[in-house]
Amino acid sequence: MWVYEKKLLYPVEVTTCNPMLAKYLMEQYGGADGELAAALRYMNQRYTVPDKVIGVLTDISTEEFSHLEMLATMIYKLTKDATPEQLEKAGLGAHFVNHGHSLFYENAGGVPFTATYIQSKGDPIADLYEDIAAEEKARATYQWLIDISDDPGVSDALRFLRERENIHSLRFRESVEILKEERDRKKIF
């Protein structure tokens, strides 16, 4: 069960009308290494990992949903008042025809989200290493988004999100170390 707080994890300020930037941000909204994929991946894997690391996966998944909400806010603000002509110029013509001004889970190239973006192998080490890789890929995606963004408010939020990926990666690495301590436990006791 979750308790919802009606505020964002980190304030999102958007200073320009820039539907093109919104299109790029969709990579982290509905892309393979995006926040939706991350949240769903961890929330699903959490059931079949050893007890000691269930909490890490649940907590990080929850935080990823709060990141998803920040991305949604940015994309919404960047596109809400754009005319169909402006959207078309930004490469969002096909998006507008299908979805109007609403958001949709698709990547920057317009490819819709698919469950094949995530994995669940049922082997704790395989799953945690996938999670570490996912965090590093999300960090890299944020770097390229920061490089391409010309909106200082959006860039500020993206830098915050990028730093969170670093911490998540560390937490998953620590989870691997915790499991390594379980090695040969039967013999010790």
Partner 1 sequence: MNQSQFRGTYRPYVSPRDPCPPILEKTFVLPPQLFTNFQKPGLPQNSPEEALKQGSLWPQFVDGFYREEGIS
Q: Which residues bind to partner 1, rule: CB under 8 A?
A: 50-52, 123-125, 176, 179-180, 182-187
Annotated binding residue 101: no
What is the chain's percent helix, strand, coil content, to nearest 5? 70, 0, 30
Annotated binding residue 136: no
State the Rg of the chain over Cα.
18
Whole-number minimum distance, CB 122 to partner 1, in Å? 8
Whole-number minimum distance, CB 58 to partner 1, in Å? 14
* Distance between start and end Cα atoms, the chain: 36
> Please, are residues 105 and 29 in contact by the beta-carbon 8 Å criterion?
yes
Annotated binding residue 59: yes
From the list 17, 22, 18, the residue with the least C-alpha distance to 145 is: 22
> Please, are residues 46 and 57 in contact by the beta-carbon 8 Å criterion?
yes
Residue closer to partner 1 by CB (options 6, 186) is 186
Annotated binding residue 174: no
Cβ neighbour number for residue 106 with a 10 Å cutoff: 21
> Please, are residues 176 and 125 in contact by the beta-carbon 8 Å criterion?
yes
Annotated binding residue 99: no
Residue closer to partner 1 by CB (options 11, 50) is 50
Annotated binding residue 64: yes
Structure tokens, 65 = 């949903």
Whole-number minimum distance, CB 154 to partner 1, in Å? 39
- Alpha carbons 132 and 134: distance in angstroms, whole number: 5
Residue closer to partner 1 by CB (options 7, 183) is 183
Residue closer to partner 1 by CB (options 5, 177) is 177
Whole-number minimum distance, CB 137 to partner 1, in Å? 21
Whole-number minimum distance, CB 179 to partner 1, in Å? 6
Residue closer to partner 1 by CB (options 66, 119) is 119
- Alpha carbons 173 and 167: distance in angstroms, whole number: 10
Binding-site positions: 35, 59, 64, 67, 135, 168
Binding-site positions for Ca(2+): 59
Binding-site positions for Mn(2+): 35, 64, 67, 135, 168
